[in-house]
Structures are given as structure tokens and as C-alpha cells.
């Protein structure tokens, strides 16, 4: 399964499996070890609490010189995640550095769930809602979590 993979990816994968990040599982695909099935538990005290969110993470050929490609497969109501599951996160774009790891990316996404940032939106409609009526936005985020991310 790991044949022909760069040592860096093998080491990162082994560490992810041996020392998982709390609240996150990342399992490499049997067929393609550059492709990970990820599950992130909605952080406590966030509108996503009790939800389990499926993501896919792919390490491009250029990794670690270029960032992993990550997207949400589970629907989520969040100003930094669009309807296609794409994530607006600086380290996945211009702030990527080869010093970062899959682990760092997953922790950053988990942190984004705890602290949505409507000032750097990917979904403008959700961001506007978050800014103009945060209580209502959080309520919708909770409803979506219960609808799409419970026991999925």
C-alpha cells in the first residue's frame, strides 16, 4: 500500500494512525495512500457539537511543496465552507509551507469549526447571515448539524 510513496508521507501517515488527533480520524484509502477519509467530530461548545463531519483529503504529487486538497463531504452551514465543501483557510492556499503537515491542516479545520470567520468568507450568504444575525446563523448551523451530521 505504501510502495512508491515519499518517506515523508509514510511517516506522517504512520504518526496519524499511531497518535490520532483528538476528535479526528484520518485513514488512508486501501487503493490510494495519498487519499484519506477523514472524520472530524464537531467541537464542543460550537454549533457543530455532536456532529460527525466526513471530509476527503488528497495529497497532490507536489506535496509537501503544495498544500493538501481537502473538502467537506458532509453538508455544513459555515461562512468559510461553501456548498461544494471547499474550505477557505489560509494554510490551504497562500500560507501553506512544507513545514506544515496533514496533522496541522486537520487541527486548523477543527479550529475553524470552533471559530467561524465571517470576515474571510467563502459563502457570502452564510457570512452575511453570521454578521447580521449571529444567533439565527448559529441556530441554522445547529439544525444542519442535526440533519446532516448526526450518526452519518
Neighbours of 34 (CB within 10 A): 18
Look at residue 2 in the predicted model and tell me its pLDDT: 61
For the record, the C-alpha cell of 114 comes out as: 470552533
Look at residue 152 in the predicted model and tell me its pLDDT: 61
Look at residue 38 in the predicted model and tell me its pLDDT: 98
For the record, the C-alpha cell of 131 comes out as: 454578521
Look at residue 120 in the predicted model and tell me its pLDDT: 87
Alpha-carbon gap, residue 23 to 18, rounded angstroms: 14
pLDDT < 70 regions, the chain: 1-3, 152
Look at residue 4 in the predicted model and tell me its pLDDT: 82
Q: Out of 67, 88, 102, 127, pick the active-site residue.
A: 88
Alpha-carbon gap, residue 94 to 116, rounded angstroms: 19
The whole-model pTM stands at 0.93
Q: Is 88 a catalytic residue?
A: yes
Amino acid at each position: 500500500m505504501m510502495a512508491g510513496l515519499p518517506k515523508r508521507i509514510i511517516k506522517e501517515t504512520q504518526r496519524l494512525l499511531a497518535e490520532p488527533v483528538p476528535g479526528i480520524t484520518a485513514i488512508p484509502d486501501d487503493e490510494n495512500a495519498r487519499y484519506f477519509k477523514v472524520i472530524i467530530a464537531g467541537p464542543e461548545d460550537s454549533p457543530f457539537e455532536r456532529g460527525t463531519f466526513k471530509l476527503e483529503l488528497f495529497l497532490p504529487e507536489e506535496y509537501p511543496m503544495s498544500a493538501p486538497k481537502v473538502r467537506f463531504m458532509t453538508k455544513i452551514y459555515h461562512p468559510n465552507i461553501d456548498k461544494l465543501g471547499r474550505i477557505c483557510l489560509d494554510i490551504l492556499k497562500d500560507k501553506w509551507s512544507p513545514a506544515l503537515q496533514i496533522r496541522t491542516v486537520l487541527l486548523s479545520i477543527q479550529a475553524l469549526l470552533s471559530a467561524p470567520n465571517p470576515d474571510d468568507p467563502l459563502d457570502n450568504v452564510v457570512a452575511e447571515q453570521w454578521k447580521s444575525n449571529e444567533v439565527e446563523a448559529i441556530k441554522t448551523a445547529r439544525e444542519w448539524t442535526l440533519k446532516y451530521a448526526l450518526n452519518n
